[in-house]
Amino acid sequence: MPNIDVSGLVTREVKYGENSRILTVLGKDSGKVSILASRARTNRSGLLTATQLFAYSDFTLFKGRDGSLFKLNEGEAVSTFPNIRNSLEKMAYASYFCDVVNQICREGSEENELLALILNMLYLLDRDDCTAEKAVKIRAVFQFRALAAAGFAPDCDGCAECGDGAVRYFSRSGGVFYCEKCSENGNALSEVNQGIFNAIKYIITSDSKKIMAFSLSDTAMKYLADIGEEFMRIQLEHDFKTLDYLKNVIALG
């Protein structure tokens, strides 16, 4: 079997037997891949950095004769996001983002849009000037954009019933907006103002390089992140334990 080169982000690691780990890697062009990393190999070749959680690395893999799992041959870290590793809060954000990506992605399908998104968010999180407020914005952007990549983009063409541009409610179950008089048609409604509506529309339609170029007050940004969180929970039908953990870490300050 020839070697296979994969560049990707380590989004999960699980202990396997006494001496090994199974890594989940979101690879460029390859999507989600499971990789068996034996301790003998990672210790001997100094691969611990390349195989740690949240590392983006170039891997060389091979497939054993026996099984379906890829095995790690070589690896070199491209980016390890050191500031994330130095902060409990940033680690909690990164864990949540990886959890979401692992939930959305299926093995065997290319997921370059989600990979680019999470790398962009980790890069912003890793910056020295990433404050607690900026992290809330990163979470808000990540949630809506990840859902859009997964096919759950909110419909931002005004009121879903009458088309009026003056929307007042967002349906977290339907992914649509309603004006005041049509709101009785919607379920799981969150009240929104024009600023929140514009922000959601901006997040799902903007060029990825300009994705952070919008502003809201800190209170509105938190509200937006909370709507996104609930929208995600309903659309993916999944509760993220890493989100509960993130909230606990934030509460501890």
The residues of the shown chain that bind Zn ion, judged by CB under 5 A, are: 159, 161-162, 164, 179, 182
Reported as type and span, the H/E element at residue 196 is helix 194-205
Residue 175 CB, nearest approach to Zn ion (Å): 16
Tell me the C-alpha distance between 164 and 182, whole Å: 10
Task: Closer to Zn ion by CB, 76 or 164: give it.
Answer: 164
Task: Closer to Zn ion by CB, 142 or 178: give it.
Answer: 178
Is-contact 18 30, C-beta < 8 A? no
Residue 180 CB, nearest approach to Zn ion (Å): 8
Residue 214 CB, nearest approach to Zn ion (Å): 25
Residue 178 CB, nearest approach to Zn ion (Å): 6
Residue count of the chain: 253
The count of C-alpha atoms lying within 13 angstroms of the C-alpha of 225, restricted to the half-sphere facing its C-beta, is: 20
Reported as type and span, the H/E element at residue 135 is helix 132-149
Residue 157 CB, nearest approach to Zn ion (Å): 12
Residue 202 CB, nearest approach to Zn ion (Å): 22
Task: Closer to Zn ion by CB, 64 or 165: give it.
Answer: 165
Burial 101-139 (b: 16+ CB within 10 A, else e): beebbeeeeebeebbebbbbbbebbbeeebeeeebbbbb
Task: Closer to Zn ion by CB, 53 or 182: give it.
Answer: 182
Task: Closer to Zn ion by CB, 85 or 158: give it.
Answer: 158
Q: What is the DSSP-derived secondary structure letter of residue 107?
A: B
Beta carbons within 8 Å of 51's beta carbon, 6+ residues apart = 10, 13, 21, 23, 37, 42, 57, 72, 75
Tell me the C-alpha distance between 234 and 208, whole Å: 25
Tell me the C-alpha distance between 97 and 122, whole Å: 9
Task: Closer to Zn ion by CB, 5 or 157: give it.
Answer: 157
List, edge to edge, every strand of the sheet that includes 169-171. 155-159, 176-178, 169-171, 189-191
Residue 179 CB, nearest approach to Zn ion (Å): 3
Task: Tell me the β-bridge partners of 32.
Answer: 26, 107
Task: Closer to Zn ion by CB, 190 or 242: give it.
Answer: 190
